[in-house]
Chains A and B, each alone.
Chain A
Amino acid sequence: KAGVTQTPRYLIKTRGQQVTLSCSPISGHRSVSWYQQTPGQGLQFLFEYFSETQRNKGNFPGRFSGRQFSNSRSEMNVSTLELGDSALYLCASSSPGRTSLYGYTFGSGTRLTVV
């Protein structure tokens, strides 16, 4: 079965712009989580969506937002981009309630560079 698909793979944006990243989870996985990965901070949890509802949110400013559609596809948006937002953004899908046992399946990520 198809894996987790993230688009685009690479993105270069200018400070102050906004960006939208997309994630299609594994078929049948209804939970989608987003993480930001940087060399200094590692993987930091952004938010989790299940059945089009945000279930959990990490400690990020309101400029970071997301949504999930009825087909479980998810998007995340970052507004008013800052240099510090440059990172690898990873999407992970899982079966809800089973993450601690079966783990995540990650996409290949979107590499965002803010200049």
Chain B
Amino acid sequence: TQLLEQSPQFLSIQEGENLTVYCNSSSVFSSLQWYRQEPGEGPVLLVTVVTGGEVKKLKRLTFQFGDARKDSSLHITAAQPGDTGLYLCAGGSQGNLIFGKGTKLSVKP
């Protein structure tokens, strides 16, 4: 059974700080995705990483896929209150995706 473990579960930081959240598995994934979910809404896709070692940047967010395609990280530079939300990683070889339990990020002004 493929599992995705995310850490930390909760993160509370001040505006302007940097942070990194992690997504790990013992299984190899053909791709991993990151979603952000705000309260009362469904998750929204941020990025898909496909190639081992790949790095993708989305403004202040940097996503990395591990060389062995078993893990991924999300780094946020100079966090802002608008970054607050639940960050979920997801992966799947085919068909449905499996999700990690998420990292709940709170950025205080």
B97 pairs with A104, CB closer than 8 A: yes
B contact residues, total (Cβ < 8 Å) = 26
Cβ of A48: which chain B residues have Cβ within 8 Å of it?
Answer: 95-96
What sequence of 0s and 1s flags, for each residue 21-59 of chain B, a beta carbon within 8 Å of any chain A beta carbon?
Answer: 000000000110101000011111100101000000000
A66 within 8 Å of B (CB atoms): no
Cβ of A99: which chain B residues have Cβ within 8 Å of it?
Answer: 92, 94-97
What sequence of 0s and 1s flags, for each residue 86-102 of chain B, a beta carbon within 8 Å of any chain A beta carbon?
Answer: 00101111111111111
B48 pairs with A45, CB closer than 8 A: no
Cβ of B93: which chain A residues have Cβ within 8 Å of it?
Answer: 100
Q: Which of A78-110 contact B (CB under 8 A)?
A: 90, 92, 97, 99-109
Q: Known contacts A41-B101, A42-B99, A45-B98: does B41 contact A108 (CB below 8 Å)?
A: yes
Instruction: Tell me the complex Cα distance, A109–B43, Å.
Output: 10
Q: Among the listed A4, A41, A102, A108, which residue makes an inter-chain contact with B40, where contact means beta carbons less than 8 Å apart?
A: A108
B45 pairs with A104, CB closer than 8 A: yes
- Interface size classification for chain A: 20 to 34
Cβ of B96: which chain A residues have Cβ within 8 Å of it?
Answer: 33, 45, 48, 56, 58, 99
CB distance from B61 to the nearest CB of A (A): 16
A101 pairs with B45, CB closer than 8 A: no
For A9, the closest partner residue in chain B by CB is B40
Q: Which residues of B contact A (CB under 8 A)?
A: 30-31, 33, 35, 40-45, 48, 50, 88, 90-102
| Listed A/B pairs (13) with beta-carbon separation below 8 Å | A33-B97, A42-B101, A48-B95, A48-B96, A55-B95, A56-B95, A58-B96, A90-B43, A97-B94, A100-B92, A100-B94, A100-B97, A104-B45
Q: Knowing that A103-B90, A103-B97 are A-B contacts, what are 12 other residue pairs whose CB atoms are under 8 Å apart, sorted by A's residue number?
A: A35-B99, A42-B102, A45-B98, A55-B95, A90-B42, A90-B43, A99-B92, A99-B94, A100-B31, A104-B43, A105-B45, A111-B40
